[in-house]
């Protein structure tokens, strides 16, 4: 029963190392709706800060591995919008940060309404395209 309730109400049962907690709160202390996940390799925090959704990955000693920021379409850099337009209509943009911006994950759809996932580098170069 507890497992069902935790899925419905999104209770987090992840036990965080103090270093991860401290690092998160130093960097993102004003965040809300924080949900934690854990794998063998990292701790993942999904949260909102100033109305924008983020996903942060930390190692077990609290080092921020990477940060993903769900960008509003209007806040997407113009050169990324232009590259996306070559493939279809831009639906969603996630900026990937590892000490600096390293890339973008996009969801676009073509004229036939088929959706694709694009991975672009920081300059807009296509790294990968997959049909969803």
pLDDT at 2 over 70: no
What number of other Cβ atoms are within 10 A of residue 118's Cβ? Answer: 22
pLDDT at 8 over 50: no
Q: What pLDDT, in 10s, does the model give residues 23-68?
A: 999 999 999 999 999 988 899 999 999 999 999 999 999 999 999 9
What's the pLDDT band for 99 if we cut at 50, 70, 90?
confident
For residue 53, what are its two tokens? 């959704």
CATH number at residue 114: 3.30.505.20
Question: Order of strands across the sheet with 64-71?
Answer: 32-38, 43-49, 52-58, 64-71, 89-97, 101-109, 115-121, 126-131
Which pLDDT value is given to residue 6?
Answer: 42
- Report the C-alpha gap between 24 and 19 in whole angstroms: 9
CA-based nearest residue to 98, from 120, 51, 76, 65: 65
52 and 31, same domain (yes or no): yes
Which pLDDT value is given to residue 65?
Answer: 95
pTM: 0.81
37 and 83, same domain (yes or no): no
55 and 79, same domain (yes or no): no
- What's the structural domain count of the chain? 2
Q: What pLDDT, in 10s, does the model give residues 65-96?
A: 999 999 999 999 999 999 999 999 999 999 99
Which pLDDT value is given to residue 40?
Answer: 83
Last residue within a domain, chosen from 66, 81, 116: 66
22 is in which domain, residue-wise?
1-66
pLDDT at 3 over 80: no
Tell the burial category of 20 from Cβ atoms under 10 Å away from its Cβ (0-12, 13-18, 19+). buried
- Characterise 104 by phi-psi region: left (phi > 0), alpha (psi -120 to 50), beta (else): beta
115 and 94, same domain (yes or no): yes
Which pLDDT value is given to residue 11?
Answer: 44
Which pLDDT value is given to residue 12?
Answer: 55
Which pLDDT value is given to residue 107?
Answer: 97
């Amino acid at each position: 029963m507890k497992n069902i309730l935790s899925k419905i109400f999104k209770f987090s049962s992840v036990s965080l190392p103090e270093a991860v907690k401290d690092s998160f709160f130093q960097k993102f202390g004003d965040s809300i709706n924080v949900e934690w996940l854990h794998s063998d390799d990292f701790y993942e925090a999904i949260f909102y800060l100033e109305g924008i959704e983020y996903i942060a990955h930390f190692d077990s000693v609290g080092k921020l591995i990477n940060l993903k920021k769900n960008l509003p379409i209007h806040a997407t850099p113009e050169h990324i919008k232009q590259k996306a337009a070559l493939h279809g209509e831009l639906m969603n943009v996630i900026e990937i940060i590892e000490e600096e911006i390293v890339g973008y994950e996009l969801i676009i759809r073509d004229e036939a309404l088929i959706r694709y996932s694009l991975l672009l580098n920081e300059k807009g170069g296509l790294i990968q395209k997959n049909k969803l």
